[in-house]
Amino acid sequence: MSPESTIFIIGLAVVIITILTFVMRKLPKRIKTQIYVKKWRDIQKLCANSEDWSHAIVHADMLLEEVLKKKKITGKTMGEKLVNSEDRFTNNEALWNAHKLANSIKQNGDKSLKDSEVKEALIAFGQSLRDLGAL
């Protein structure tokens, strides 16, 4: 084998390895469901006391954002990430309502929540986490 062909093969191998490394970094990381299942159960435990409902909603929103980040969904804000991933969710409208409720709680502090709106929001967050493969 000539030195030119050896150099060509080595150069080609370096280019292929570089491209594969770049592609692998851009792919979403595999989600370890046991971590998110535990976090989700902790959020559900907050629902036992009505005083902690607002915390449960905010934490569920933060958990969803964490999973979206892990899935490499782009966007500067949670809203942008939801828009960029809307085709992954089975119930976009319910998820948006849940996210708006979480934002309202973050901006206005704790507020009195109805049992039905808490259930709807947590169901929407839970389904979205399942849609993403985290639960």
* Per-residue pLDDT tens digits for 37-81: 999 999 999 988 888 999 999 999 999 999 999 888 999 999 999
pTM of the entire predicted model? 0.78
Domain of residue 115, residue span: 33-131
* Residues 91, 25 share a domain: no
76-118 per-position pLDDT tens digit: 999 999 999 999 999 999 999 999 999 999 998 766 788 899 9
* Residues 43, 9 share a domain: no
Burial class of residue 91 (count of CB atoms within 10 Å of its CB; 0-12, 13-18, 19+): middle
* Residues 40, 2 share a domain: no
* Residues 111, 50 share a domain: yes
* Residues 26, 39 share a domain: no
One-letter identity of residue 134: A
* Residues 77, 112 share a domain: yes
